[in-house]
Chains A and B, each alone.
Chain A
Amino acid sequence: MPILLILLFWPLAAQAAFTSDYISLHGFGGWAYGRTDNENRYLMGTEDGCYDHVYFSLNMSANPFNNFHLHVQSAFNESMDGQEVVLDYGFADYYISDKLSIMIGKIKTPFMFYNEIYDVGTLRPFYTLAQGIYYKFAAEAYQGLGLTGTFSVRQTWDFQYDIYGGKGELQPQRLLYAHSTLSDETAGNIVIVDFRELTYFGEDMFGARLMVSSPLCVLDVGLSYYSANVGYYVEDIYIEGRFQEKYVERYGRHHFCGISIAYKTPKWTTRMEYVGQFEKEEGTYDYFHTGYLETAFTLTEKLQCAARFEFEDTHEAENDSFEEHLETAVGLNYWLHRNFVVKVSLHHVQGNSMAMPDTLEDYITNISSDSFDDTTNLFVVGTQFSF
């Protein structure tokens, strides 16, 4: 919170000191409170209310010599699950022409509209992104090589392409995980069930994206694709009777394709995105999909209202409610400045694909009685800023 106060009163002249011809410094962050109306936890909300969600990212770009740029962004995150400091991205970028630049390092995956600007809250109407795409399907970053460039048709239609390959980092997932301790011949195997963070990765990953902007930037259309051998690892765990510092499990090749459309006027913005995931198992293809439709309207210079509808269909869980995620959200934003906004939103969620019991005790109780609460309402209030 002190950072927000500093930025509000930080004069432009002082900000200029952080930008030179060779180095520029920027950042963004936010804080939110969330509360659900039942035992389920969803996004930053729990039944008792949670104040712990806060994050801040520092971004630096350097241009040490002609055609060569360095970009680094680090993140400091705090949530109900703990604290972490991570490297969002760090890469070198060599410019050959407007149509071709080469990037090497850890790079945000160019996927759909928001993946590269995942946590920049001043660029979207809701505090969080649509979870079906950006939590379940998107690859957060890749470590490898990318090519990018822009070109125009008739001087007015702009095209931007990205092609990339390497090893991908997907979003970590917090799931209920059953594993067994060392077996005792007299006591038998003891099974431990607890919530674990599974770190997903994508090996031999490659992908591409094409973004098209119409004249006057009214319409943006994007096509995104990536493919990877997906797997996950869990740390410090008992599996099959023995302790492992890092247990790794690998699935087959997954393919993700998506389409993004945005229509923008000075007062209205409407976005629609849809992603399908294909994976081949035992000779047949499985298909999962998710999408959302979001619209925002500027009521006054500072006041904005927004609505979003989202669905996700995984059809892989035994319990029907765990296959489903339907979310309707409405929000109201107050823009004190285009770089500082206060957001309030209500989310109505149907299904337990992402809104599930917060504690192990509630989870096990509901499993035994098959009584998961499949309707969750979440209230979120928070602030986001950028500079």
Chain B
Amino acid sequence: MKKMLMIFCFITFLCALSSLGEEEFNFKIIVHDSNTITSLTKEEVAKVFLKKTKKWKTNNEKIQPVDLVEDSSVRKNFSDRVLDRRISSVKAYWQKQIFSGRGVPPPEKETDKHVLEYVQDHERAIGYIAQDTETGQYSVKIVVIKEN
């Protein structure tokens, strides 16, 4: 009995270890398909969407992030997992930026379709959409969020 319990605990531990490296995102990051970027770290994505990083390193062009509206569950997950902040904190951050004259927030789009259209129409844009949203008919590509 003791041996079985130890084996069970060991297997459970291995399973837990294997899941540590996996982020559970319900979204995927997209850019224009002419963008040469293929992967970004979570911190790099966060800096882009908080406009702490304003230029693409590859071509020094201005980055144009685009958000979903604040009542989107995809945005909530993105805000929690990538920005490490609740949406209300992000909104407060942008209020400070706006009224101190330091910047304005990314535009907000109602649906994944609007985000896809925005990224397709702006070569320097970056956005996020639901994990299961089809992108085939749009000129966009998926960017992998990698570990540091």
Q: Assess whether A217 is in contact with B89, with CB atoms less than 8 Å apart.
A: yes
Q: Is A294 an interface residue (CB 8 A)?
A: no
Judge if B28 is at the interface, Cβ distance under 8 Å: no
In the complex, how many residues of chain B place their beta carbon closer than 8 angstroms to a beta carbon of chain A? 30
Contact of A61 with B100 in the complex, beta carbons under 8 Å: no
Which stretch of B18-26, B30-38, B47-55, B133-141 is in the interface? B47-55
**How far is A93 from B100 in the complex, measured between Cα atoms in Å?**
12
Q: Are A108 and B100 in contact (CB under 8 A)?
A: yes
A12 to B53, CA, bound (A): 27
Interface pair A155/B41, CB less than 8 Å apart: yes
Cβ contact within 8 Å between B99 and A117: yes
Chain B minimum-CB-distance residue to A266: B86
Task: Give chain A's interface secondary structure class.
Answer: strand
Question: Which of B41, B69, B91 interacts with A338 by CB under 8 Å?
Answer: B91
The answer to whether the Cβ of A38 comes within 8 Å of any Cβ in the partner chain is no
Name the A residues within 8 Å of B47 (CB-CB). 152
Interface positions, chain A 1-54, Cβ under 8 Å from B, are: 12, 16, 19, 21, 24, 26, 28
A interface size (C-beta, 8 A): 42
A91 (CB) vs chain B CBs: closest residue: B101
Verify if A120 is at the interface (C-beta below 8 Å from B): yes
Q: Is A126 an interface residue (CB 8 A)?
A: no
A residues in contact with B58, CB < 8 Å? none
Q: Which of A262-313 contact B (CB under 8 A)?
A: 264, 266
Q: A123-B92, A217-B84 are in contact. Are A61 and B53 (CB under 8 A)?
A: no
A107, A338, A386: the one contacting B101 at CB < 8 Å is: A107
A297 to B101, CA, bound (A): 29
List the B side residues contacting A28 at CB < 8 Å. Answer: 99
Task: Check A120 against B95 for contact (C-beta < 8 Å).
Answer: yes
Q: A335's closest neighbor in chain B, by CB?
A: B88
The minimal Cβ–Cβ distance linking A67 to chain B, given in whole angstroms, is: 8
Distance A150 CA – B52 CA, assembled complex (angstroms):
7
User: Would you give the shortest CB distance from B121 to chain A, in whole angstroms?
Assistant: 11
Interface residues of A (CB under 8 A from B): 12, 16, 19, 21, 24, 26, 28, 57, 59, 61, 66-67, 71, 73, 89, 91, 93, 95, 97-98, 103, 107-108, 110, 116-117, 120, 122-123, 148, 150, 152, 155-156, 158, 215-217, 264, 266, 338, 386
What are 9 inter-chain pairs, A to B, with CB distance below 8 A? Answer: A28-B99, A57-B99, A73-B99, A93-B101, A97-B55, A117-B99, A122-B95, A152-B52, A215-B84
Give me the 8 closest cross-chain CB pairs, A-B, nearest first: A116-B100, A71-B101, A155-B43, A24-B104, A117-B99, A120-B99, A216-B84, A26-B98
